[in-house]
Every structure is written in structure tokens, then in C-alpha cells.
Copies of this chain bind each other. A is one copy, B any other.
Amino acid sequence: MVCSISWRVTSVVANIAADVAESLDEFELIRRLAATQRGVRDDVVLGIGDDGAVLEPMRGAQLVAVCDTLVAGRHFPNATDAFAIGWKALAVNLSDLAAMGALPQWALLALTLPERDANWVERFGAGFGALAKMSSVALVGGDTTRGPLTITVTALGAVAPMAALRRDRAQVGERICVTGVLGEAALGLAAAQAGRRDDRRFAHYLARLDRPEPQLALGQALLGLASACIDVSDGLVADLGHVAEASGVGLRLDLDAIPHPPFALGAALDLSRRAVIDLALAGGDDYLLAFTVPEACLPELRVRTTELRLDLHVIGVVTSESGIRLLTAEGGDYVPGRIGFNHFGNSDGE
């Protein structure tokens, strides 16, 4: 007995036509996503539509490969606009390439969707495509399947031989730096969760949450200057913890030097000053780079960040202790609160 196999005799023509139609439907999803970025790059020998993509690696360069998954309800609320999901699925990967100092080239997209919703796919594709175009990334392949909404992007880029920025190269005495303000995405999330999406004071912060712009130009400007680099996706302290551990060093942070959102905006959401500082220390989804540089390189770093119109903040120093210390202006240790809303209700940090 083979009860779960059903045989339906149909004509071979209908049979083949049905198979082709289904496959076209699948391909069509990916094609729509790719349509917005056609011709972005001339190093794509063969793009979407075959068993694989054929790509022309940059001569003499090394290849950098990154891969990140977003799961609905864990990495973004189920009701998130598809444009923001598409943008973010690529952004989190490009931020990883930025942290390696890589020039982004290509992306592959695995999209698991509960149902075929052409409108959703179009908005998703518009978000993915907008960032791809802005970053000169070509979508060269992928897969579409049915199932609970899950998006995995693999991004590929190039870096000069042995030049990639790593997290395990921080040296004692180096300065710890960031550019831009930390905790802005977390403030945006707090505003959204408080039902303040229409409050224009939070527009900038909601944009930082929904359309983070990976610091690709900064990553490349740091080549030859920074010793260690990481992207801040899970919160400044947590991510710098990886640098400290991988490099076998300690990090001392100067609390007053850490750029945070305005206290007044926090107050509008019933957040104390302390809570605003904690957003900067532990809020996720910033996608800014944190890096260490030898003191002697600070002048050149200032030149390069000024060219990129970025505000450079020197927030601490690498020490021979282990772990991370946060010092107040008075020299005391600061104890941040723990933020329990990592990735939207997921308390285990995934």
C-alpha cells in the first residue's frame, strides 16, 4: 500500500505545461526582485535563471562571504512593512561586509514565504532593491520556498589580500572609536512600540530602525588604519565584548564620550536619562562600526572620517585587563540596565 502517492493521468502536454508554469512562478518572484537592479554590475557573467550564478572575482582580491537570517516575529515584528524587511535583510549582511572592510559585489536571497503575495513581494523587492542599488550590489541567485516567513541573505564582496578587518587584532593602548550616534534604532523601536510612529520627532529614529545604512564607505576607509573592527548589531557593550574576547584584551569605555540620543526625546517616551544612555550601550540594530586604532593613526582617521562627513567619537581605550569597564566622569564604574527587548521579545539574544 502506497497510500500517500496519488496518480493522476493527465496529458503529457498539460503535465509539462503545469510544471513549467509552476517553475516560472517561482522564478518570477526572484526575477521581480532582481528587476530593480539589472545592470548594476558588469562582473556578473550569468545571473538568475540557471542552476547557479557565474561571477568574475576581482583580480588579486580576496573574497569575503557573510550570511544572516531574519525570522519573522523574532528579528522583526510580524506586522513590519515589507519594504523595511527587504531593506533590512540586505542591510544586516552589508553591515557585516562593512565590518570586514569589504567592497560589496553580489547577493543571494533565500526567501521562505507563507503564501504567494505579489504585492508583498514587490514591496519586499523594492526595499531590497533600493539598498542594493545604493550599494552597487547585484542579486545573482537565490531560492523561493513556502513556509513560515524567513529570509536568508548571503552577500559576497572583495578585499585586498590580507587586509580584511578582523575582531581579533585589538592591541593594548589603542583607542576605541565609533562614528554616529548609538541607540538611535532602539529609540525608534521604543517610539514604534509606544504607538508614536506618526510623531515627527521620531522620524529620524524610525528610519534608523527600518532602513539602517551599513557603513560600507567607512569600512573601506578603515583599511590600513583600524586594527580591529566589528559591526554593532546586538548592542555596543555586547559586540565590543566579542572584540575583547577574540583579541584577548580589556576595553575601558568613557561613559561621557559615548554618543546617545537626546534625553528630551527619551523623556517624551517616559525614558529616564539613564535609560537613554542604556539604549546607546545595549540597544540593538544600530549597524554602526566600532573599531580600534593606534593613537598615532587618529589624525589620519580624522581626515578620512571628515571626508566621509562622519562624526568621529573616541569612546575608550584598549587595556591589558580582561572584559569591559564603563567609567563615569567621576571615575566610578557605571552599571547599565539590561534591555530585555532584544530582537522583539526574544530574550535569548539570537
Contacts and interface: CB of A to CB of B under 8 A. Distances in A.
Contact of A339 (B7, B11, B144, B271): B7
A349 interface: yes
Interface in A298-350: 323-326, 333-341, 345-346, 348-350
A5 interface: yes
Contact of A55 (B64, B154, B238): B64
A181 interface: no
A119 interface: no
Contact of A323 (B16, B66, B97): B16
Nearest to A231: B51
A118 to B, nearest CB: 15
A68 to B, nearest CB: 5
A269 interface: yes
A69 B324 contact: no
A335 B9 contact: yes
A78 interface: no
Contact of A69 (B10, B11, B110, B190): B110
A156 interface: yes
Nearest to A245: B20
Interface residues of A, number: 114
Given A46-B164, A55-B65, A338-B7, A241 B16 contact: yes
B334 A12 contact: yes
B100 A340 contact: no
A6 to B, nearest CB: 4
Interface of A: 1-13, 15-16, 18-20, 22-23, 26, 45-46, 49-57, 61-75, 96-97, 99-100, 102, 106, 108-110, 112, 140-148, 150, 152, 154, 156-157, 159, 162, 164, 166-168, 190, 193-194, 230-231, 234-235, 237-238, 241-242, 245-246, 269-271, 275, 278, 282, 323-326, 333-341, 345-346, 348-350
A90 to B, nearest CB: 14
B67 A143 contact: yes
Contacts of A109: 67
Nearest to A4: B193
Contacts of A68: 110, 143
A128 B159 CA distance: 29
